[in-house]
Chain A
Amino acid sequence: MTTASDISESVREGSATATETIKSALSAIAKRDKDLGAFVFVCEDHALKQADRIDGMAADDKRRLPLAGVPIALKDNICTDFAPTTCASKILDNFNPPYSAHVTKKLIEAGAIVIGKTNLDEFAMGSSTENSAKCITRNPWDRGRVPGGSSGGSAVSVAAGMTPIALGSDTGGSIRQPASLTGVVGLKPTYGRVSRYGLVAFGSSLDQIGPFARTVEDAALLLGVIAGSDSRDSTCISTDVADYLGSLSDSIAGKKIGIAREYFGEGLVDGTRKQVESSLEKLRELGAETVEIDLPLTKYGIACYYLIATAEASSNLARYDGVHYGHRSKNVGDIVEMYSASRVEGFGPEVKRRIMLGTYALSSGYYDAYYLRAMKVRTLLRRDLEKAFEKVDVICSPVTPDTAFKIGEKSSDPLAMYLADVYTITANLAGIPAISVPCGFDDAGLPVGLQIMGPAFSEATLLNVAHQYQINTNHHKKMPV
């Protein structure tokens, strides 16, 4: 599998054309995606036109493109003004955004070529990509299993070698968990590092867009392109974007890695534990020092998250009312009936469940007991981490308690599905960055991921540690058949 940095270099130097690259990616999708279901829309015309534009550029202009001719897949909750954006929901079935997301524009400016939109759990709500009104996405390592979610399609596009890189969004683990379950790199940046303009909102204080790649180097390259301030997202931070590629080769000798026993307790299966522990051994061999830390509030993260995320979602999803865009019910009398009928017909079961929970948490008489209390617990969870980062540079843990589960295995028990997010949601609640890097395979041959979390704006450190681990191991070189 060719990396994004190799493709880009060949196109910049003229030893390959963008058109050839795009044609080969399109044929890979045509061949492999039939039984994987990663893509909900392939933008062939747009991609070929963009390729032609890049091939027609003057050599000097082409040389300035960090992602020249690189095919990329976007999760279908990232707006594109040249392709539909559906959030894998019936309510946005025929929605063509009037504008492109900030990240979409940044990618095009950098020479990347959006080749398609990928499947997700409807409105990014889920951990398996099964809650999609579009299709089932299968894990390329075992087609009877889920790829994780909610950015399952983007993870599979990269894992199966259809595109070298992809973008997803992460509200409670939706980049890191599918990256872990499909054996690729996935990074959730610091809240505010990447503009959310044009990302369809789910939990506005938690959502972040981030990269998928096979190599940490490609993830660093892609993050460098999409990070930075944007006046259209007032929560986007203007702090300078670090040189993510420049620090990859630094030594990690002396780096302090925090290990919290709360992330290695009950529920973590042996196959995953074994691989994560051997990756920690490898990091020690590379000179890092592991330090035991306490994160005693970890277990309250899920309850805290599912109140805050659903409260924000219930408010964000109020905009789908059948008036301005999206599905409108045919069975309507007055306007309130039109809202209620359009919404019940357009949303799937998990989205309805979360709107209901969030509405309840915000409703009169329950606001203090649920939403307000959850926001206070969030403060304590943050403080726990801040205290830990006074002693350590990064915190390492598993990404998920188990490897990929079978399609349908958990769909009848929503709470069981939520509980599996225990290791990833804290980073969203605290706003800090976290990366998932492949760290081996369990006995069934399913990928396992190592999570590395760091303080706000420490992406360069996370990428450095992950890269040093990756270039000294071979897990990322194995491809699914």
Chain B
Amino acid sequence: MANPLSESDVRHIATLGRLQLSNDEIAMMTEELSAIVGYVDQLNEVDVEGVVPTAHAVDVQNVFRDDVVRDSIGSDKALANAPERDKTFFKVPKVLDQDTV
């Protein structure tokens, strides 16, 4: 049986999931995901006509809290684990290409 997923499908998913997978990983993942997707396809045997989906098993209701100002953790604590910072900012590589600026 052909794999339900092709390598190009897997490359597309990796892009969506922001994972820069190597060619070897793509090949392995294609095999493994195909096996898993082949298995989960058995859900097609279940008649779900008219069934309401469950996102949360216990009924959840909206919870309001008082609209009051409270202390936050402050920028030093918030930035303490940052891989790179500049004063009170998280520092990241450039977001826009030079051409698009």
Contact = CB atoms under 8 A, between A and B. Distances in A.
A370 B40 contact: yes
Contacts of B25: 344, 352
Given A334-B95, A456-B58, A306 B40 contact: yes
A415 B35 contact: yes
Interface in B55-85: 55-58, 60, 62-63, 65, 73, 77-78, 80-84
Contacts of B58: 190-192, 235, 237, 431, 456
Contacts of B93: 332-335, 337-338
Given A344-B19, A363-B16, A379-B53, A356 B39 contact: no
Contacts of B99: none
Given A98-B80, A338-B93, A377-B48, A360 B33 contact: yes
B10 A340 contact: no
Contacts, number: 170
Interface residues of A, number: 70
B1 interface: no
B39 A303 contact: yes
Most-contacted residue by chain A among B9, B46, B77, B84 (CB, 10 A): B46
Where chain B touches its partner, the secondary structure class is loop
A94 B57 CA distance: 35
B87 interface: no
Contacts of B17: 314, 343, 355-356, 359
A325 B83 contact: yes
Contact of A373 (B19, B43, B77, B97): B43
A47 interface: no
Interface string B1-25: 0000100011001111111110001
Contacts of B48: 373, 376-377, 380
Given A352-B21, A360-B33, A191 B40 contact: no
A355 B56 CA distance: 20
8 contacts: A94-B81, A231-B65, A303-B43, A307-B43, A352-B19, A359-B17, A380-B48, A382-B57
Interface of A: 94-96, 98-99, 190-192, 205, 231, 234-235, 237, 297, 300, 302-304, 306-307, 314, 318, 321-328, 332-341, 343-344, 347, 352-353, 355-357, 359-360, 363, 370, 372-380, 382, 414-415, 418, 429-432, 456
